[in-house]
Amino acid sequence: MASILASLRAFAVPILYIASAVFFIAGLKATCKVRAAGRGTTLLAIGFLLALAGIAVETAESDLKLALAGVALGAIFGLLIGLRSRIALGQGIGPLLAGAGGVVSVLVAIAAFLSEEDWPLAGALALTGGLRGAALGLAVLAGLSALVFAVLAAFGPAARASGQPAAVALSASSSGLAAAMVGFALGNPIVVTVGALATTAGWTLSTIVAQSLGRKPAEIVLRSGSKTGKAGEEYGDVQTCGAEEAAMVLENAHTVVVVPGYGMAVAQAQHALHDVGKMLEQRGAAVFYAIHPTAGLIPGHMNILLDEAKVPMAQILEWQAANAKLAEADVALVVGANDIVNPATRDDPHSAVYGMPFIDVGLARSVFVIKRSLRPGAAGVKNALFERTNTTLVLGDAKKVLQAIGVELKAQLPKAAAA
Amino acid sequence: MTGGLLISLYLFTLAAFLGLDVIRKVPPTLYAALATVIGAAAALVVAVALAAASSGGRSAPAILATAAVAVGTCGVVGGLVRGKRMLRVGGDKPGGTR
């Protein structure tokens, strides 16, 4: 009887750990997708419970008083911080949570040093001697740097900037490394696995965030402010999003006005653009293409490209007609155009572009601008459109972004047809 | 003992590569929530602390481990709850990064 129980236990532990790892991976993957992100935290919570069940089976006979007291205390503070901390970017204690794994690793490493080799639960994988010491030492180093990053993310220069998630991700990455090192030293496979996962996931995320701001992760953590350009030409609060979110808004639009510009020509995105347009029409939307007389390199440039992509003439509007249509449009989709949609052409007599014909995309309920970067257009002036609250930038090559939007729209098509 | 090290290294390497691949093409609305959630995942090391704290002793290591349990539970619970809240904010309003 006892032997059956023992062998059951021997099997249950690795199975629980493996299942836990699967849920952690699925949870992180889901959190990268707008449509699936809601499931992400649930999957991760299941991962945690499975890992804890594994540990519980491994430590069957034990005195739980201290452990439960710690759990209760931690859960209360966790709920308080989780529910009460401010979510918006800015100083606050919320980002400190990412350093928790690092602090735990430091405390456990010190405890393991003190208790030497009679650490409870040192499994078959546990290290001994110098290797153990080295792994614990690394855990302390990584754990302390996680704490430093977390404090910088919460109160340092990064706290005010849109780069705060990069600092949080770096802290999470260091926490993960510290956790993995503790897992190495004490021989816990699930802690090694999830620690390693968090290490590279956090690092990758911090580089992605930094890249979207055109900076390096270290710059974001240590210095505040956006990349400096000429005075008065910096952009303050711009909203950006990915192709998936743009697709989510587009698929609910009844009227869409597309404004192509030089960027579409450079990226040769006219076919991808027309594909997106056709998919929107299949969903029942009315799609129009607004042509500005000076869009592109030469007059008529956009007409040639749209004609090449076989966009029907009836859908092509001159700029005055486009402005009338924009007033009733749900979405204006600007593809690589800048100066021709700059409100300064109408509003700012001192601007270099003042007086030019102007397509007033701001009339539409929401505006998506596909652009490679926030660099100024041919006229070299800032575009206030990008800072408006109903404008969202989708940064990237026009063709790639449009293809990504197309993939998203296509994925949603059958469902819509069934409904 | 080197067997243990090798298996751990094996797990570490595979999981590290997986981490590089899992995080790909993240829309900016999800940056903050994803960073928070990865932080929560890293706090799984609390499992090791739990085992140590429940070993029964009242020695210095057990006290340290208990403190670690409190901090770690706070990190896990707080991270997941905060991440969930961030997702709710982002989910209501596509394109609304704040």
pLDDT-based confidence at residue A418 (cuts at 50, 70, 90): very low
pLDDT, position A60: 67
Q: Which of A85, A187, A243 sits opposite B4 (nearest CB)?
A: A187
Give A301 to chain B, closest Cα distance, Å.
31
Q: Which residues of chain B make contact with A40, given a CB cutoff of 8 A? A: 37, 83, 87
Interchain contact, A200 vs B66, CB within 8 Å: no
CA separation, residue B66 to residues A85, A113, A120, B22, B81 (Å): 25, 16, 14, 33, 22
- pLDDT at A109 exceeding the cut of 70: yes
Interchain contact, B71 vs A97, CB within 8 Å: no
* Residue closest to A403 by CA, chosen among A304, A295, A271: A271
Q: Which residues contact B59 (CB under 8 A, 6 or more apart)?
A: A114, A115
pLDDT, position B56: 63
Beta partners for residue A317, in sequence order:
A290
- pLDDT at A227 exceeding the cut of 60: no
For residue A333, the SS3 value is: strand
User: Is the CA virtual torsion A27, A29, A31, A37 positive or negative?
Assistant: negative
Count of A-B CB contacts under 8 Å: 437
- pLDDT at A68 exceeding the cut of 60: yes
Number of helices (H), then strands (E), in chain B = 4, 0
Chain center to CA of A321: 38
CA separation, residue A132 to residues A105, A118, A126, A174, A177 (Å): 14, 13, 8, 19, 15
For residue B55, the SS3 value is: coil
pLDDT, position A229: 37
Give A297 to chain B, closest Cα distance, Å.
31
Domain that holds residue B73: 26-92
- pLDDT at B90 exceeding the cut of 60: no
For residue A93, the SS3 value is: coil
The amino acid at A89: L
Pairing of strands A316-318, A331-335: unpaired
Q: Which residues of chain A make contact with B39, given a CB cutoff of 8 A? A: 97-101, 168, 171-172, 175, 198, 202
pLDDT, position B1: 52
Q: Which residues of A are catalytic?
A: 339
Q: CA–CA separation, B16 vs B18, rounded Å?
A: 5
Domain count, chain B: 1
Q: What percent of chain A has pLDDT over 70?
A: 90
Q: CA–CA separation, A64 vs B55, rounded Å?
A: 8
Tell me if B76 sits within 8 A of A175, measured CB to CB.
no
pLDDT, position A195: 96
Q: CA–CA separation, B96 vs A87, rounded Å?
A: 13
Q: Which residues contact A151 (CB under 8 A, 6 or more apart)?
A: A96, A99
Q: Which of A97, A215, A333 to probe by mutation at the B interface, max B CB count within 10 Å?
A: A97
Q: CA–CA separation, B85 vs B79, rounded Å?
A: 10
Q: What percent of chain B has pLDDT over 90?
A: 42
Q: CA–CA separation, A357 vs A329, rounded Å?
A: 20
**Structural domain spans, chain A:** 1-61, 83-222, 243-418
- pLDDT at B91 exceeding the cut of 50: no
Structural Rg of chain B based on CA atoms: 18
CA separation, residue A278 to residues A194, A333, A400 (Å): 44, 14, 17
For residue B94, the SS3 value is: coil
Q: CA–CA separation, A174 vs A195, rounded Å?
A: 9
pLDDT-based confidence at residue B76 (cuts at 50, 70, 90): very high
pLDDT, tens digit (0-9, with 9 covering 90-100), for A189-204: 899 999 999 999 999 9
A243-418: CATH architecture: 3-Layer(aba) Sandwich (3.40)
Q: What percent of chain A has pLDDT over 90?
A: 33
For residue A88, the SS3 value is: coil
The 10 Å Cβ neighbour count of residue A275 is: 18
Q: CA–CA separation, B75 vs A99, rounded Å?
A: 8
Q: Which residues of chain B make contact with A171, given a CB cutoff of 8 A? A: 39
A92 near B CB under 8 A? no
DSSP state of A332: E
In a domain, B98, yes or no: no
Q: Which residues contact A8 (CB under 8 A, 6 or more apart)?
A: none
Q: Which residues of chain B make contact with A75, given a CB cutoff of 8 A? A: 73-74, 77
A208 near B CB under 8 A? yes
Interchain contact, B65 vs A111, CB within 8 Å: yes
Q: Which residues contact B91 (CB under 8 A, 6 or more apart)?
A: A34, A37, A38
Q: Which residues of chain B make contact with A188, given a CB cutoff of 8 A? A: 47-48
